[in-house]
Amino acid sequence: MGPLPDGRDSPSGHDVALIEDEQLRQLVALDPDGSLTLVEQILAEFDANLGERFAQLATASVEGDADALGRVAHALRGGCLQFGMVRAASYCATLEEHAKRGETSGCGELVGMVTSAVTESVQLIPARLQAIREAPAK
C-alpha cells in the first residue's frame, strides 16, 4: 500500500511493479490479424481522458473534496487495473482509502504519484505490447 498523508505507514510504491503483462496479453489478443490497431485505439481513448482525470484529482485534493477525490481515484483505478498499470492502481487505491475516511490534507503528493505512475505506464505500454506480440507463443 502507498504512503499516507500524515506519514504513517509509508512503504515505497515501488514495491509494486509498474506494469503487469497479464492484462496486456488479452489486449494484444483483440487484434487477431497480429496488428495492434484496436489496442492502440483503446489506449489512445484512455490517454485522451487522463488530462481531465488528473485535473479533477488535483482540484479535489486542493479543495479538500473527499467525495470527488474518491470517485475520480476509483474510476482511474478501474482503468489502470484493466490496462495492467498496477502501481498506479495501488496509488489510486490508497487515495480512495483516504477519501473514504475524509482525509484529504496531504493528498497532493499522492495525486502527484498517481499522475507520474500513470503517465510513465502509458509511455511504456506500447513497447510492452509490441514485445508481447512478437514473443513466441508458449
Partner 1 sequence: MEPGAQISPATARDEAAGKHLPLRVVIAEDEAAIATLLTLSLESAGYVVTSTSDGEAALAKILETLPDVVLLDMMMPKMDGTEVVRRMKETPATSSIAIIMLTARSDDSDVWDGWASGVNYYLTKPFDLEAVVRCVGEVASMSRDAPISEEEDGR
CA distance 119 to 110: 14
Smallest distance from partner 1 to CB 15, Å: 18
75 binds partner 1 (CB under 8 A): yes
Q: Is the dihedral of CA 128, 90, 88, 26 positive or negative?
A: positive
Nearer of residues 82 and 116 to partner 1, judged by Cβ:
82
Beta carbons of 23 and 84 less than 8 angstroms apart: yes
Q: Is 83 helix (H, G, I), strand (E, B) or coil?
A: coil
Smallest distance from partner 1 to CB 44, Å: 8
Distance between alpha carbon 108 and the CA centroid of its chain, in Å?
Answer: 16
Smallest distance from partner 1 to CB 60, Å: 14
Q: Which residues bind partner 1 (CB under 8 A)?
A: 23, 25-30, 32, 34, 38, 41-43, 45-46, 48-49, 71, 74-75, 77-79, 81-84, 132-133, 137
